[in-house]
Amino acid sequence: MFVSWIMSTLRLLILLFLWIATTTPHVVRAWYVATPSSRSDWEQLARLLAEQNRPKSDDGRVVKLQWDVWGRRQAQNTLYRRYVQTARQLEGSKYAILLVKEWGQVIGVAEMGIGDGSVSGSDDGSGGGSDATERRAILGVLCVSPTVRRQGIGAALVRRCEQVATQIWQEETLWVEVETTNNQALQFFETCGYIDTEQRSMVQVQRRQVLEETPHVVLVKSLVTHEDSIVQQERA
């Protein structure tokens, strides 16, 4: 009798659990895009970016030990100083740092600004190729914490950068430079509408405490639709 009562109670509890699981709505992720507003934001930004330089699985034990003992902290301090200093120097200029935060934690970051883009092999009218430079709106850094990837955070950051470029800076295109070996990033930007210009540039990339020049693919996206062009012509 007692065993039968226990079994009936367990069945009721299981049914109640299944009912709650199927009727309770899923919790919506509470992340949002913002700009750094505190020392904690800058420190978390540096920590997130520093982790991109952590040793790979095939690195030796000595390298991993150095990273754990002092490399991680040194990388974080270097990135913190660099980004804070850059933001102060470029205050009021076309430069922006955007964060994705969730419950006070930084889980994504994007850096964009106006920079010199090299155009190789351009025609100068003499019939030969030459190298020239032009001022471009460039999305230089895009990073999302590995624990929250494939949840639309990177795409949201890219869209916000595009809004800054068009609505605030009055730019018509946004450029991205991606390492030639980063196939995942190249595919991501392709899905976001960016096109390979078939130009290549050499960009300095920090590998732990060393700056290396690595080849990058130059991508571009036009941010002005056909309708926007018509409106601009009518206003002119």
pLDDT tens digits, 9-30: 656 555 555 555 455 444 456 8
What pLDDT score does 89 carry? 93
Whether residue 43 has pLDDT greater than 70:
yes
Q: Is 187 helix (H, G, I), strand (E, B) or coil?
A: helix
Pull the structure tokens for residue 104: 């006070």
Which domain, by its residues, includes 88?
A: 2-235
Q: What is the mean pLDDT of the chain?
A: 80
Whether residue 233 has pLDDT greater than 60:
no
Number of domains in the chain: 1
**How far does CA 124 lie from the centroid of its chain?**
35
pLDDT in tens, 208-222: 556 678 889 999 999
* Burial annotation 189-224 (CB, 10 A radius, 16+ → b, else e): beebebeeeebebeeeebebeeeeeeebbbbbbebe
pLDDT in tens, 50-83: 998 888 777 788 878 888 888 889 989 999 999 9
What pLDDT score does 118 carry? 54
Pull the structure tokens for residue 99: 């964060």
What pLDDT score does 213 carry? 80
Contact status, residue 144 vs residue 84, Cβ threshold 8 Å? no
User: Which residues have C-beta within 8 Å of that of residue 58, sequence separation ≥ 6?
Assistant: none
User: Which CATH number does the domain housing residue 118 bear?
Assistant: 3.40.630.30
Instruction: Break the chain down into helix, strand, coil percent, rounded to 5.
Output: 45, 35, 20
Q: What is the percent of the chain where pLDDT is above 90? A: 49
What pLDDT score does 49 carry? 94
Compute the distance between CA of residue 167 and CA of residue 144 in angstroms, rounded to an integer: 24
Compute the distance between CA of residue 194 and CA of residue 139 in angstroms, rounded to an integer: 12
Compute the distance between CA of residue 128 and CA of residue 119 in angstroms, rounded to an integer: 14
Maximum alpha-carbon separation in the chain: 100
**How far does CA 64 lie from the centroid of its chain?**
25
Confidence of residue 7 (pLDDT cuts 50, 70, 90): low
What pLDDT score does 236 carry? 43
**What does the CA dihedral 164, 166, 170, 173 come to, rounded to 10 degrees?**
110
What pLDDT score does 234 carry? 45
pLDDT in tens, 97-143: 999 999 999 999 999 999 876 544 444 433 444 455 678 999 999 99
What pLDDT score does 10 carry? 55
Contact status, residue 31 vs residue 107, Cβ threshold 8 Å? yes
**Burial class of residue 111 (count of CB atoms within 10 Å of its CB; 0-12, 13-18, 19+):** buried
